[in-house]
Structure 1
Amino acid sequence: MILTNSRERTRFIRFAIVGAIGAAIDFGVFNLLTHFVPYFRENAVFAQAISFTLAVFSNFTWNRLWTYPDSRSKSIMRQWVQFAVVSVIGLAIRTPIFLWLEGLLIRTFSSWFPKGAATPIVIAHNAALAIVIGTVMIWNFIANRYWTYNDVTS
């Protein structure tokens, strides 16, 4: 397994830290959009796509500089394109899961609160986002390690 090697474990931990920063960006932008921009309140799927995109830019930068500093045989543009492709596939994985979970969780949490309360929607949005971020992180690590950053030694 990839994580039996101490260098790979270190990379995974760094990737996870970078991912946590990306998740903070993802959650922060998502909540700003869904709380303060009326359009996104009703169209959270678009808000999560925008927040995801901004997190991808941050993640690429920090992964290139810190997680994989020894990956320099490819141009930054080639790595960016590969990272972006992996991320778009991750977005394609996460969006339908988010849509399904969002609906399920809104229905579930709505029964816990008074009719018309915004709280179940906020909880459902954030719970769905947390689940999809965790799910897609595994895809992102494996795909980026073996494709985007395949020029580093184990």
Structure 2
Amino acid sequence: MKRLLKFGLVGVMNSVVDLGLFTVLVMTGTPAMLAQIISYMCGVANSYVWNRNWTFGKSSRQGRLIMARFAVLNLLALGVSAGMLFCLHEYLNIPVLYSKLASMAAGTMLGYAGSRYWVFKPGAEPVRETV
């Protein structure tokens, strides 16, 4: 439960970064899909630092494996959220900020499950060979 609460707090920070930047970019004329990519990646950078060091507390020796998994997970989540944003806004004509909020919810669910059970999963320590 403690880990879920930490993940939630990090998620709030990520959402502020993502939604705030997205809003500024869209309001200044940036196309929604480009704004989505930029703002999402800024949220991802924030998420990686906080979740790795605080929520899941993984050591630096695990860095490459965790970073690779985190990148794969977030590219998948970006694809899902961008696709959802595009469909909701472009095809269903839902206002862009409402579409963004819905896509963020989907990305959050995928992000938690992927982080908890794959990226930062307990016992995911890489095997260190001794010579």
Say yes or no: TM over 0.5. Answer: yes
1:5-44 equivalences under 5 Å are: 9-36=1-28, 38=29, 40=30, 43-44=31-32
Match of 1:147 among 92, 96, 118: 118
For residues 24-103 of structure 1, the aligned pairs below 5 Å read 24-36=16-28, 38=29, 40=30, 43-69=31-57, 71-72=58-59, 74-103=61-90
Deviation at 1:78, TM superposition (A): 2.1
Instruction: Please state how far the C-alpha of 1:24 moved relative to its aligned partner.
Output: 0.5
Alpha-carbon distance between aligned partners in 2 of 1:63 and 1:126, rounded to the nearest angstrom: 26
What's the TM-score once normalised by structure 2's chain length?
0.85
Asked if the contact 1:68/1:152 (under 8 Å) is kept, the reply is: no
RMSD of Structure 2 on Structure 1 (CA): 1.8
Structure 1 unaligned runs (5+)? Answer: 1-8, 107-123
Residue identity opposite 2:102 in structure 1? I
User: Mind listing any 5+ residue stretches in structure 2 that lack a counterpart?
Assistant: 125-131
1:85 partner amino acid: V
Residue among 102, 109, 112 paired with 1:138: 109
Read off the aligned partner of 1:59 and give its amino acid letter: S
Change (3 A) 1:95 1:67: same
| One-letter amino acid of the structure 2 residue matched with residue 55 of structure 1 | G
Deviation at 1:12, TM superposition (A): 1.4
- TM-score (norm. length: structure 1): 0.73
Structure 2 distance, partners of 1:16, 1:152, is 22
Given that 1:105 and 1:128 are in contact with CA atoms closer than 8 Å, whether structure 2 keeps it comes out as no
Q: How many percent of aligned residue pairs carry the same amino acid?
A: 24
Task: Report matched runs for 1:108-147 at 5 Å.
Answer: 124-147=95-118
